């Protein structure tokens, strides 16, 4: 009996609520007649939207044990006045809030109905069940917002719709010429197109009779690639070669010069076009470097902004690439480095090991020498990640340390097939000796080293120790904006700036320089680890770039004039011949262009215009620097002609005995490989 009384009490309360809701509906229709909803009738006249009654709804109370109570005595308006109700709620004007159809109280609503707690511990499930009506189908005329509208109802309208390529602003739509996803495409193709245009301008084959062969690429790499192509197409031992010099350990030679998996495509390349295979493989790897860095920014910063393309272009066409791009065997490590960094971050923060282990192993396999520098930095960056991630328990630290050690060793194990023969071969050469420096010396002032960020500065590939660290003159502004940006954590700034200072010391001090290069002093080609510095600098500058919208204009102005002041000081203080007078004027010109673009962006100029202008300025600066500082050529005709003459002579020899043939005058020590 007590349970029946409770059910009857609840039913009466529900009837009162529904009756008050209906009265509110009628009152609203009288005072706001302009908001009445009209439905066109079949004869062209209009009729008022009918209100739903309890004949159209069955109000069901599930009391948890199978008992069901329904009520048929009151009317309810489907709209509840002029206010749109959330699905599954009934507005109670008396109690001041909606009641959820799930049986619970909606947040900020009135107190729940009395008596529910005595029936069961949890509120009963309350819902409205529509009943089909032959006279009127209310579901066909009631308009409900679609799911997408509900999802964005409490959020700012998205500025960009990737599905239809349109940018929305103030209720209007304009065609967007460049989508955010195009950033990865631009990061690959812009450097490739720039390099091909420069090759065409320099007359490099097939645009002329010149070649990209220079220094060691001319004397060593091209003959080694020729020998590798011969072994792939005609057979032969991969352990030893009689054609290179007086005979050579080919396994050791392969480990340093030829181990890139992409080089196996030589099997498809005719011998007459090996030089072109090398030349355009360099272009392809440069494009992949830009793509790799842009992809890293996209994942690290969790963004789809097109701006990642600008920084990918500068990574691919940096001063390091301008100086060392002809070292084709190094480029695999440069393009894999951003992926290794991303893999280490996932290993530390997400306990995901696959990307780190595979990419580091592939880097070591491709070129163990540059990978030594990458492994040294992995230790430094691993420590930096632990510091930036804040306080952790000792167990978390031990898990991270053990995971890092295990998967780093596993990555090295993946490359053991080329590492072990190389280690054995190195022990028989001068490289096996480690003569650690006994004194500490500095090579140059820090100010002069920072000035290497200026564009069009002659690259250093000789015996001087200058680092090639150009990566866009805009970094002089963006780095300062990074330091003053309050949206970037102070701990992150301290860690990254500490890493940059460590690289400054590594470039300048002989002891650190010795360690970075595998416990040896490099024979020319200084600061071979400087691509890591470029990576860090561009990463920090992208962080500043991503916050430009909320950066105060006065900060931009101060950063611009500080960068200009640095350029003027460099012009006054630096007397090195590598700094032609045009260097400083070009730097000021591009700094002014970037400041103007930031102004346009902050003033709300068209997105299409700003992106296209920025892409144009970035591409022009990168192209000008690469043209001025890189891509020297030699005659392809004379190089190939000499090789063809030698081959024709040896093919005429019919003596099957084992013997050696030498040229009276030779162009390299490895002519026999052709």
What is the residue-wise DSSP string for 498-543? HHHHHHHHHHHBHHHHHHHTTSS--SSS--TTHHHHHHHHHHHHHH
Q: Count CB-CB contacts under 10 A for residue 346.
A: 16
Question: By the 8 A CB rule, do 473 and 621 touch?
Answer: yes
Q: Is 355 buried (19+), middle (13-18) or exposed (0-12) by CB count in 10 A?
A: middle
Residue 672's pLDDT band, with cuts at 50, 70 and 90, is: confident
Q: Count CB-CB contacts under 10 A for residue 468.
A: 27
Strand-pair partners of 166: 161, 175
b/e string for 269-306 if b means 16 or more Cβ within 10 A?
beeeebbbbbbbbbbbbbbbbbbbbbbbbbebbeeebb
What ranges in 177-235 are assigned the alpha helix state H?
A: 182-202, 215-216, 222-234
pLDDT value for 198: 96
Over residues 567-584, the mean pLDDT reads: 91
User: Is the pLDDT confidence value at 147 over 60?
Assistant: no
Model pLDDT for residues 313-325, shown as the tens digit of each residue:
999 999 999 999 9
Model pLDDT for residues 160-218, shown as the tens digit of each residue:
444 344 444 444 345 567 777 799 999 999 999 999 999 999 999 999 999 999 889 99
Strands 634-635 and 210-211 come out as: antiparallel
Is the model more confident about 660 or about 492? 492
| DSSP designation for 125 | E
Q: How many CA atoms lie within 13 A of 223 on its CB side?
A: 25
pLDDT value for 538: 98
Task: Report phi then psi at 660, rounded to 5.
Answer: -125, 140
pLDDT value for 523: 86
User: Is the pLDDT confidence value at 402 over 90?
Assistant: yes
CA dist list (Å): 642 to 62, 226, 663 = 95, 14, 11
Supply the mean pLDDT for the chain. 81
Over residues 394-409, the mean pLDDT reads: 93
pLDDT value for 12: 74
Over residues 378-392, the mean pLDDT reads: 92
pLDDT value for 77: 43
pLDDT value for 123: 45
Residue 94's pLDDT band, with cuts at 50, 70 and 90, is: very low
Model pLDDT for residues 56-90, shown as the tens digit of each residue:
444 444 444 444 444 444 444 444 444 444 444 44
Over residues 260-271, the mean pLDDT reads: 95
Residue 527's pLDDT band, with cuts at 50, 70 and 90, is: very high
pLDDT value for 328: 96
Least confident piece of the model among 255-269, 335-349, 425-439: 425-439
pLDDT value for 664: 73
| DSSP designation for 579 | S
pLDDT value for 4: 65
CA distance 354 to 315: 25
pLDDT value for 613: 96
pLDDT value for 112: 44
Residue 29's pLDDT band, with cuts at 50, 70 and 90, is: low
Residue 15's pLDDT band, with cuts at 50, 70 and 90, is: confident
CA distance 98 to 107: 9
pLDDT value for 247: 85
Model pLDDT for residues 599-627, shown as the tens digit of each residue:
999 998 888 899 999 999 999 999 999 99
Residue 290's pLDDT band, with cuts at 50, 70 and 90, is: very high
User: Is the pLDDT confidence value at 376 over 70?
Assistant: yes
Question: By the 8 A CB rule, do 299 and 345 touch?
Answer: no
Question: By the 8 A CB rule, do 86 and 109 touch?
Answer: no
Residue 108's pLDDT band, with cuts at 50, 70 and 90, is: very low
Model pLDDT for residues 109-139, shown as the tens digit of each residue:
444 444 444 444 444 444 444 444 444 444 4
pLDDT value for 10: 76
Model pLDDT for residues 242-251, shown as the tens digit of each residue:
888 788 889 9
Place of tokens 């070129």: 367
- 63-72 long-range contacts (CB < 8 A, ≥24 apart) are 63/7, 63/119, 63/120, 63/124, 64/120, 64/124, 67/7, 69/7, 69/10, 69/11, 71/11, 71/14, 71/15
User: Is the pLDDT confidence value at 1 over 80?
Assistant: no
> Among 583, 548, 541, which Cα is nearest to 566's?
583
User: Is the pLDDT confidence value at 447 over 50?
Assistant: yes
Over residues 649-664, the mean pLDDT reads: 76
Question: By the 8 A CB rule, do 194 and 317 touch?
Answer: yes
User: Is the pLDDT confidence value at 140 over 60?
Assistant: no
pLDDT value for 129: 44
CA distance 622 to 312: 11
User: Is the pLDDT confidence value at 236 over 80?
Assistant: yes
Highest-pLDDT range among 28-37, 158-167, 390-399, 541-550:
541-550
pLDDT value for 656: 78
pLDDT value for 2: 58
Highest-pLDDT range among 62-76, 86-100, 562-576:
562-576
Residue 156's pLDDT band, with cuts at 50, 70 and 90, is: very low
């Amino acid at each position: 009996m007590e349970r029946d009384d409770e059910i009857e009490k609840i039913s009466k309360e529900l009837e009162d609520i529904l009756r008050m809701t209906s009265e509110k509906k009628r009152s609203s229709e009288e005072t706001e007649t302009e908001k009445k909803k009209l439905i066109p009738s079949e004869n062209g006249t209009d009729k008022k939207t009918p209100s739903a009654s309890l004949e159209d709804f069955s109000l069901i109370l599930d009391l948890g044990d199978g008992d069901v109570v329904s009520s048929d005595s009151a009317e309810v308006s489907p709209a509840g006045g002029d206010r749109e109700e959330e699905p599954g709620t009934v507005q109670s004007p008396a109690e001041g809030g909606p009641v959820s159809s799930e049986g619970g109280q909606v947040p900020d609503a009135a107190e729940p109905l009395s008596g529910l707690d005595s029936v069961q511990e949890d509120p009963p499930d309350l819902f409205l069940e529509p009943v089909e009506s032959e006279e009127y189908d209310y579901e066909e005329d009631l308009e409900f917002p679609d799911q997408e509208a509900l999802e964005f109802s409490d959020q700012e309208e998205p500025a960009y719709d990737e599905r239809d390529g349109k940018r929305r602003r103030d209720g209007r739509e304009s065609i967007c010429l460049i989508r955010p996803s195009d950033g990865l495409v631009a990061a690959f193709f812009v450097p490739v197109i720039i390099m091909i245009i420069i090759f065409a301008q320099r007359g490099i084959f097939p645009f002329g009779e010149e070649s990209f062969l220079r220094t060691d690429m001319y004397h060593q790499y091209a003959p080694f690639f020729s020998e590798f192509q011969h072994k792939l197409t005609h057979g032969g031992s991969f352990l030893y070669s009689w054609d290179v010099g007086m005979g050579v350990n080919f396994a050791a030679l392969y480990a340093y010069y030829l181990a890139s998996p992409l080089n196996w495509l030589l099997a498809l390349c005719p011998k007459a076009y090996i030089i072109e295979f090398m030349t355009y493989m360099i272009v392809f790897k440069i494009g992949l470097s830009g793509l790799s860095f842009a992809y890293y920014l996209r994942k690290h910063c969790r963004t789809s902004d097109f701006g990642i393309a600008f920084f990918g272009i500068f990574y691919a066409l940096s001063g390091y690439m301008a100086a060392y791009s002809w070292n084709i065997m190094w480029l695999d490590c440069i393009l894999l480095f951003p992926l290794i960094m991303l893999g280490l971050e996932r290993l530390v923060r997400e306990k995901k090991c696959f990307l780190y282990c595979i990419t580091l192993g592939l880097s070591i396999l491709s070129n163990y020498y540059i990978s030594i520098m990458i492994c040294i930095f992995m230790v430094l960056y691993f420590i930096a990640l632990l510091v930036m991630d804040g306080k952790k328990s000792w167990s978390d630290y031990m898990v991270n340390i053990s995971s890092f050690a295990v998967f780093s060793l596993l990555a090295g194990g993946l490359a053991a097939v080329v590492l072990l023969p190389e280690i054995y071969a190195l022990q028989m050469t001068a490289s096996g000796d480690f003569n650690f420096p006994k004194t500490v010396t500095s090579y140059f002032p820090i100010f002069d080293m920072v000035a290497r960020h200026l564009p069009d500065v002659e690259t250093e590939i000789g015996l001087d120790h200058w680092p090639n660290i150009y990566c866009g003159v805009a970094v002089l502004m963006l780095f300062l904006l990074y330091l003053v940006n309050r949206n970037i954590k102070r701990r992150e700034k301290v860690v990254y700036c500490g890493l940059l200072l460590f690289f400054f010391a590594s470039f300048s001090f002989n002891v650190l320089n010795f360690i970075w290069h595998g416990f040896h002093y490099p024979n020319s080609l200084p600061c071979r680890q400087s691509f890591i510095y470029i990576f860090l600098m561009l990463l920090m500058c992208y962080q500043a770039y991503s916050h430009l919208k909320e950066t105060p204009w006065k900060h931009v102005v101060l950063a611009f004039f500080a960068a200009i002041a640095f350029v003027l000081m460099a012009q006054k203080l630096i007397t090195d011949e590598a700094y032609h007078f045009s260097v400083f004027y070009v730097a000021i010109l591009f700094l002014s262009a970037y400041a103007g673009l930031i102004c346009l962006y902050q003033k709300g100029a068209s997105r299409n215009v700003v992106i296209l202008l920025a892409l144009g300025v970035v591409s022009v600066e990168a192209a000008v620097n690469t043209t001025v500082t890189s891509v020297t050529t030699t005659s392809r005709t004379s190089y190939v002609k000499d090789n063809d003459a030698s081959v024709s002579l040896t093919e005429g020899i019919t003596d099957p005995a084992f013997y050696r043939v030498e040229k009276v005058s030779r162009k390299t020590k490895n002519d026999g490989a052709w």
